[in-house]
Copies of this chain bind each other. A is one copy, B any other.
């Protein structure tokens, strides 16, 4: 990543003052992001190349490399820039409701093309530690913290909260990455019920613990 750009990833945002020479064009950044997303939507995020973005956007490769280290980072940046404002937690009165809302909201926000983008980002993060860190820092972590904050009032301990998140969002990502069946409302409800079950057959009835 560059110290000057990747607005969505780094905090930055502020206008650079006092730098010598020609200032970077903010418009250019947007054009490039837009082109990257468009290409990702059209051909799939895996086929997007810096070369292609350069051609499509009319922005020189040099300029792109000056701001992002590679295509995956650029796509991640563009994706987060686009989806960031879309998702927000809806706090509710109950724990189960909060999680249920969060999962349903996420499913709704992730349109097919966004879902593919996200799948690709997870994939890209597997072979690029920097990307993995950025993914954690800018996507996963903030929304986990938001979730933890949202359920704090219910008196859930930190590690208990982590386990809840791992279970519910783990299941979500699992089905997204290994799409053997659709992610639909019933399934989400089933997940939540199972985790917060108070009536279904308790484990004891199912054979007890060993």
Residues of A at under 8 Å CB distance from B?
Answer: 44-47, 92-97, 100, 119-120, 122-127, 132, 135-136, 140-141, 154-156, 159-160, 162-164, 166-175, 177-181, 187, 190-191, 194-198, 202-204, 206-210
Q: CB distance B136 to A126 under 8 Å?
A: no
List the B side residues contacting A169 at CB < 8 Å.
174
Q: Specify the main secondary structure of chain A where it touches its partner.
A: helix
Q: Which of A45, A136, A198 has the most CB of B within 10 A?
A: A198
User: In the complex the two chains form, what is the Cα distance from A136 to B180 in whole Å?
Assistant: 7
What is the copy number of this chain in the assembly? 4
Seed contacts A94-B203, A162-B181, A167-B168; 17 additional CB < 8 Å A-B pairs: A47-B127, A92-B210, A95-B203, A95-B207, A96-B206, A96-B207, A96-B210, A122-B126, A136-B180, A141-B180, A154-B207, A160-B190, A163-B194, A166-B171, A167-B171, A167-B195, A170-B170
Q: CB distance A209 to B196 under 8 Å?
A: yes
